[in-house]
Structure 1
Amino acid sequence: MQAIGQQEHLLTVDDLVALPERPGIRYELHEGKLVEMPGAGGIHAAIVVRLVLLLHQFVTSRRLGFVFGDGLGYILRRNPDTVRIPDVSVVRRERVPAGGIPEGFWPGAPDLAVDIVSPHDRAEEVHERVRDYLGAGTRLVWVLWPKSRTVTVYWPDGTARELGPDEKLTGGDVLPGFEVSVSELFLVPAEESPGK
């Protein structure tokens, strides 16, 4: 608890970079405040790989841009700084900096950000991340809910739509022509795990 009259110290992107690594823990910044992100489980990781493969094949075959898996931080805002790490993201070719893919954090928002909800995520935290992406210029956000096998799609105009397992998820104007059945994103059935 901070004392009355004492101002909270807000962290910057440079402070985030300087933090010592801890196995299984990643950090994001939300308006200068450190957000600890526990490591994800096996189902989560399998969904990330599945989606990266689907998007990579589509995006590279059409030379639309770049697909990134879990781990790339995006600087969404400065003063106070906000850095988010989507589970999967796409940056269109025309938005890649002149110097190419940056070595560190990406300056700006992805065109598509994907958040796969983990058991430890609270709904308000998920909505906060969605607001951060859209507020920074992300054109499309997909939130995947593994337990219900649904996807919520968010657009910058504030609209959202939930898609059930039998519906199709499309890339809209970010990835025109991309389409996949929602159920295909979650084809990591527990019954195929060893020992079942």
Structure 2
Amino acid sequence: MTAITINFNNVLKLSDDQFYQLCRDNPDVKFERNAFGELIIMSPTGGETGKCNASMTADFIIWNRQTKLGEVFDSSTCFKLPNGSDRSPDVSWIKLERWNALTSKQREKFPPIAPDFVLELMSPSDSLSETQAKMQEYMNAGVKLGWLIDRKTRRVEIYRQGQQKEVLESPTSLSGKDILPGFVLDLLFV
């Protein structure tokens, strides 16, 4: 099953509060919203993708608990990006001082902030071109580092602010370098 995009704009344009309420009223459905206001209904992942995503999220949590540099978010967290879209990366991280600069009300709903780091793990149902466009949207929003991991092809695309995309074939690990100091994700292949 692939993601479904629905355009209600000629009928109804949802405000941020209405979109938030739609998500709250339908907790079994994962919604995103693109910059055009179109709703995207995301399909659930399969077991292997979910297992890999949980394992990678745990690696980020363990690193972050040791460094105390920021906050880690799972794939259920939706962020309000500067272009108006509402996106839920599979794993994301925000520097602590940026997160703490938000009000408690902003942190409670869909935080109006672009994460410093995002990771998208391809599922069999994901479209590569759509996920690459989503990664570019993150970069345009101010994300500093992004990893697009395709388990099937063992290919990783690395997105860095202000730089050309880097493509790695079958890497064994990824380094967070200056954005995620000391973090190394072992892939072997997730």
Map of 1:152 onto structure 2: 157
The correspondence of residues 97-176 of structure 1 with structure 2, limited to 5 A, is 97-98=100-101, 99=103, 102-176=107-181
Rate the CA distance shift 1:93–1:15 in 2: closer, same or farther, 3 A.
same
Q: Which ranges in structure 1 are unaligned for 5 or more consecutive residues?
A: 187-196
Q: Which has the higher Rg, Structure 1 or Structure 2?
A: 1
Deviations 1:29-67 (A, max 9, x none): 101111111111111111111111111111220111111
Q: In structure 2, do the counterparts of structure 1 residues 143 and 113 end up closer, same or farther at CA, with 3 Å as the change threshold? A: same
Alignment TM-score, normalising by the size of structure 1: 0.81
If the length of structure 2 is used for normalisation, what is the TM-score? 0.84
CA contact (8 A) 1:112 1:139 kept: yes
**2:26 is aligned with 1:13:** no
**Coordinate RMSD, CA, aligned:** 2.2
Q: Give yes or no for contact 1:139–1:174 (8 Å, CA) kept in 2.
A: yes
Q: Write out the 4+ residue segments of structure 1 that deviate beyond 4 Å after TM superposition.
A: 6-9
User: Could you say what secondary structure the match of 2:94 adopts?
Assistant: strand
Show CA shifts across 1:59-118 (max 9, x none). Answer: 22011111111100000035xx20000111111112113445811111111111111111
Are the aligned partners of 1:168 and 1:182 in contact in 2 as well (CA < 8 Å)?
Answer: yes
Unaligned runs of 5+ in 2: 1-6
Give the count of matched residue pairs.
Answer: 178
**Fraction of identical pairs, as percent:** 28
Q: Does 1:28 align with 2:32?
A: yes
Return the letter of the residue paired with 2:34: H
State how far apart, in whole Å, the 2-side matches of 1:146 and 1:13 are.
Answer: 34
**Aligned to 2:149, what secondary structure does the other structure show?**
strand
Distance 1:150 1:122 in 2: 14
User: Residue in 2 aligned with 1:92?
Assistant: 95
Tell whether the 8 Å contact from 1:59 to 1:65 is kept in structure 2 after alignment. yes
